[in-house]
Amino acid sequence: MAASSVARSSTTPFPLNFVSKPSQSDHFPKTALNFDPRFKRCRIALALAYLRSDDNDRSRNGGDGHNHLVGGALELDSSAFEDFPYDVVSKDLHTLPRPLSSTHLSNSVSDGSRLRVAYQGVRGAYSESAAEKAYPNCEAVPCEQFDTAFEAVERWLVDRAVLPIENSLGGSIHRNYDLLLRHRLHIVGEVKLAVRHCLLANHGVEVEDLKRVLSHPQALSQCEHTLTKLGLVREAVDDTAGAAKHVAFHKLKDTGAVASSAAADIYGLTILAQDIQDDCDNVTRFLMLAREPIIPGTDRPFKTSIVFSLEEGPGVLFKALAVFALRQINLTKIESRPLRKQPLRASDDNNGRYFDYLFYVDFEASMADQSAQNALRHLKEFATFLRVLGSYPMDRSMI
């Protein structure tokens, strides 16, 4: 086990605080989970600043009903959209918003009509379906990169983000694990989505006409048997829906795309084959992210996600995981990631060099449970760093 040089912190980052006690006993009269009401007042004040609009405001502004930021710092009217790019899609000439990039974040505003949820990709992406499953009737906002979705929530441009964290076939999405630590968002829920790949092409194109197929690398690998049988050359692109959009926009006759049936409908493509994935049990788990944590409860099954680092020493990781086993808390996932911007460390016996690691752990318990609080208090006694990423309801829905 590699030792970490991350400084010990007495509390987890704002606004969720985990208080450490210098004892391993499980009998504590006070809970270890504190929510500072000052942050709630701050959130309400900021929300009012963005959403406040009364009859006087509307009458002063010609009755247009737009919200105005208190103090006149930001006015939400049509002029704010003048530089926001739109793509023209071949199907019925509908206009679809181009995914937000870091340069466009400042141009995206909300009319306050419904919850805005960021996802990575373009219209028709599986992430869009996950966002709509997590928040029905939401306004799904496409973003070019995972980073952009995190930033959009932090800047109050959207209310939530729904981003993939692992796939049953492809494994973990490591980029989002790194971004969870870099940003100050909180996991407030999870949603699981069955991924059903389709082979798409323009109208009039038959399977025999295809020479190549475009899609995300994972989608291509998940359909390897089918694509090999068809003799198609595989070309990787950024995302599945983006592949469908490219085929439709350029009216390609010898190229297909592996994407969702929703993408076929949006971009006016024909579905040549459905469920072409090699394994029917293809499920992606998504995290629902917000600026503030939810208050955990005990009325339904909860899951808690944490990240920590440990000192170097024999059996230290075993001891860390034992704090959960001793309390009959089930671990559902453990992921290790090298600690970024840390040089390789030399071993004590000078026989090699090794990485420092961060450990991401999911366990089935609510932070409202005393046993979970005691487990983390116990872990805190020898962890060099500990942060609670979120305590949230488990997704028990049928896939």
| Residue 169: per-residue pLDDT | 87
Buried-state track 29-47, b at ≥16 Cβ within 10 A, e below 16: eeebbeeeeeeeeeeeeee
Do the domain assignments include residue 332? yes
Judge whether residue 305 has pLDDT over 60: yes
Q: Which two tokens stand for residue 74?
A: 């930001």
Q: Report the DSSP beta bridge partners of residue 86.
A: 97
Give yes or no: residues 304 and 385 share one domain. yes
Highest-scoring range by mean pLDDT, 51-55, 167-171, 331-335, 353-357: 331-335
Distance CA 346, CA 299 (A): 48
Determine the residue type at 227: L
Q: Which residue has the tokens 């206009």?
A: 95
- Provide mean pLDDT across the span 378-390: 95
Q: Total domain count for the chain? A: 3
Domain CATH number, residue 338: 3.30.70.260
Do the domain assignments include residue 122? yes
DSSP assignment string, 110-139:
--SSS-EEEEESSTT-HHHHHHHHHSTT-E
User: Which tens digit of pLDDT belongs to each residue from 358-369?
Assistant: 999 999 999 999
Predicted confidence band at 311 (pLDDT cuts at 50, 70, 90)? confident
Do the domain assignments include residue 182? yes
| Residue 313: per-residue pLDDT | 81
Q: Report the DSSP beta bridge partners of residue 258.
A: 199
Give yes or no: residues 189 and 208 share one domain. no
Q: Which two tokens stand for residue 347?
A: 């071993």
Given a contact cutoff of 8 angstroms between Cβ atoms, the answer to whether 234 and 227 are in contact is yes
Give yes or no: residues 201 and 271 share one domain. yes
Distance CA 345, CA 352 (A): 8
Give yes or no: residues 312 and 375 share one domain. yes
Judge whether residue 96 has pLDDT over 80: no
Q: Which of 50, 13, 292, 291 is nearest to 152 (CA)?
A: 291
Buried-state track 353-385, b at ≥16 Cβ within 10 A, e below 16: eeebbbbbbbbebbbbbeebbbbbbbbbeebbb
Q: What angle do CA 362, 363, 368 make, to 5 degrees?
A: 120
Q: Which two tokens stand for residue 141?
A: 């906002």
Q: Which of 73-87, 182-196, 335-349 has the lowest mean pLDDT?
A: 73-87
Give yes or no: residues 184 and 201 share one domain. no
Give yes or no: residues 300 and 360 share one domain. yes
Give yes or no: residues 132 and 219 share one domain. no
| Residue 77: per-residue pLDDT | 32
Judge whether residue 201 has pLDDT over 60: yes
Distance CA 311, CA 322 (A): 16
Do the domain assignments include residue 89? no
Q: Which of 64-73, 200-209, 307-316 has the lowest mean pLDDT?
A: 64-73
Give yes or no: residues 262 and 309 share one domain. no
Domain range for 363 is 294-393
Q: Which residue has the higher pLDDT, 14 or 214?
A: 214
Do the domain assignments include residue 264? yes
Show which of 194, 211, 244 is a domain's final residue. 194
| Residue 280: per-residue pLDDT | 86
83: exposed, middle or buried (Cβ count in 10 Å: 0-12, 13-18, 19+): exposed
pTM for this model (two decimals): 0.71
Give yes or no: residues 203 and 165 share one domain. no
Predicted confidence band at 349 (pLDDT cuts at 50, 70, 90)? low
Predicted confidence band at 241 (pLDDT cuts at 50, 70, 90)? very high
Show which of 280, 309, 336 is a domain's final residue. 280
Strands 345-346 and 331-338: unpaired
Judge whether residue 355 has pLDDT over 90: no
Show which of 164, 194, 224 is a domain's final residue. 194
Given a contact cutoff of 8 angstroms between Cβ atoms, the answer to whether 309 and 218 are in contact is no
Domain CATH number, residue 169: 3.40.190.10
359: annotated active-site residue: no
Judge whether residue 397 has pLDDT over 60: yes
- Provide mean pLDDT across the span 216-243: 94
240-249 and 126-134 are packed helices; what angle lies between their axes, rounded to 10 degrees? Answer: 120
Q: Which residue has the tokens 């409202």?
A: 368
Q: Which residue has the tokens 């899951």?
A: 303
Give yes or no: residues 223 and 181 share one domain. no
Residue 295 is classified by DSSP as: -
Do the domain assignments include residue 206? yes
384: annotated active-site residue: no
Q: Which of 146, 156, 138 is nearest to 287 (CA)?
A: 146
Do the domain assignments include residue 7? no
| Residue 113: per-residue pLDDT | 55
Residues above pLDDT 90, as percent of the chain: 62
- What totals of helices (H) and strands (E) does the chain contain, helices first? 11, 21
Q: Active site residue: 150, 286, 363, 385, which one? A: 286
Distance CA 273, CA 271 (A): 6
Given a contact cutoff of 8 angstroms between Cβ atoms, the answer to whether 337 and 361 are in contact is no
Q: Which residue has the higher pLDDT, 350 or 361?
A: 361
Judge whether residue 215 has pLDDT over 60: yes
Omega within 30 of 0 (cis) for the link into 15: yes
Distance CA 322, CA 396 (A): 26
Q: Active site residue: 12, 226, 284, 304, which one? A: 284
Judge whether residue 279 has pLDDT over 60: yes
Give yes or no: residues 215 and 248 share one domain. yes
Predicted confidence band at 339 (pLDDT cuts at 50, 70, 90)? confident
| Residue 15: per-residue pLDDT | 38
Mean residue pLDDT of the chain comes to 77
Which helix (H) or strand (E) covers residue 345, if one does?
strand 345-346
Give yes or no: residues 251 and 313 share one domain. no
Do the domain assignments include residue 73? no
Question: Around Cβ 106, how many Cβ atoms within 10 Å?
Answer: 12
Q: Which residue has the higher pLDDT, 80 or 144?
A: 144
Judge whether residue 376 has pLDDT over 90: yes
